[in-house]
Structure 1
Amino acid sequence: MSDLSLKTSSINPASLGKVAVLLGGTSAEREVSLMSGNGVLAALRSQGVDAHPFDPAEQPLWNLKEQGFARCFIALHGRGGEDGTVQGALELMGMPYTGSGVMASSIAMDKVMTKRIWRFEGLPTPAWKVVHSAADTRAALAELGAPMIVKPAREGSTIGLTKVTDPAQCEQAYALAAQHDPEVLCEQFIAGDEITCPVLEQDGQLVSLPAILIRAPQGNYDYQNKYFTDDTQYIVPAGLPAGEEEAIAVQVRKAFAVLGCRGWARADVMIDATTRKPYLLEINTAPGMTGHSLVPMAARAAGMSYEQLCLHLLAAARTDNAAGGASA
Structure 2
Amino acid sequence: MAPKSHVAVLQGGWSPEREISLISGQKCAEALQRSGYQVTQIDVDRDLAARLTELAPDVCFNALHGVGGEDGEVQGLLEVLAIPYTHSGVRASALAMDKHLSKKIFADAGLPVARSLLVMRGSCTDHPLDPPYVVKPVNQGPVSACKSFPKAQMSPDTLTGSGWGV
- From 152, 156, 162, the equivalent of 1:166 is 152
* Cα offset, 1:130, TM superposition: 0.9
Shift of the 171–96 alpha-carbon distance from structure 1 to 2, 3 Å rule, reads same
Choose the corresponding residue for 1:98, options 74, 78, 86: 86
* 1:28 paired to 2:16: yes
What's the counterpart of residue 76 of structure 1?
Answer: 64
Residue 134 to residue 103, structure 1, CA distance change in 2 (3 Å): same
* Identity rate, percent: 38
Deviations 1:208-261 (A, max 9, x none): xxxxxxxxxxxxxxxxxxxxxxxxxxxxxxxxxxxxxxxxxxxxxxxxxxxxxx
After superposition, residues 234-313 of structure 1 pair within 5 angstroms as none
8 Å Cα contact 2:124/2:159 also seen in 1: no
Moved over 6 A (4+): none
1:46 aligned residue: 34
Deviation at 1:19, TM superposition (A): 1.0
Q: Name the Cα RMSD after superposition.
A: 2.0
- 1:52 and 1:115, CA in 2 relative to 1: closer, same or farther beyond 3 A? same
1:140 corresponds in structure 2 to 128
**3-state SS of paired residue (2:3):** helix
2:116 match: 128
The answer to whether the aligner puts 1:155 opposite 2:144 as a matched pair is no
- The answer to which structure, 1 or 2, has the higher relative contact order (CA under 8 A, 6+ apart) is 1
Q: Which ranges in structure 1 are unaligned for 5 or more consecutive residues?
A: 1-11, 185-328
- Residues 131-167 of structure 1: CA deviation (Å, up to 9, x unaligned): 12455362522xxx21011121000112432111225
2: CA distance between counterparts of 1:34 and 1:87?
Answer: 18
C-alpha displacement at 1:13, in angstroms? 8.0
1:80 match: secondary structure: coil
Q: Give the letter for the 1:48 counterpart.
A: G
Q: Contact 1:150–1:161 at 8 Å: present in 2 too?
A: yes
TM-score, scaled relative to structure 2: 0.90
Between Structure 1 and Structure 2, which shows a larger proportion of strand residues? Answer: 1
Q: Which amino acid aligns with 2:155?
A: Q
Structure 2 unpaired stretches of 5+ = none
Q: Could you tell me whether the CA contact under 8 Å between 1:138 and 1:167 is conserved in 2? A: no
How many Å separate the matches in 2 of 1:91 and 1:157?
26
Please state how far the C-alpha of 1:74 moved relative to its aligned partner: 0.3
Over 3 Å counting, the alpha-carbon distance change for 1:66 and 1:135 in structure 2 is closer
Alignment match of 2:3 (pick from 14, 34, 42): 14
3-state secondary structure, aligned to 1:130: coil
- The residue type equivalent to 1:26 in the other structure is W
1:44-76 deviation line (CA, Å, top 9, x unaligned): 001100011011127423321211211100000
C-alpha change, 1:135 and 1:82, in structure 2 (3 Å) is closer
The CA distance in 1 between the partners of 2:24 and 2:13, in whole Å, is 12
Give the whole-Å Cα distance in 1 for the aligned partners of 2:63 and 2:40. 12
Aligned equivalent of 1:64: 52
Q: TM-score, normalised by structure 1?
A: 0.47
Count of aligned positions: 165
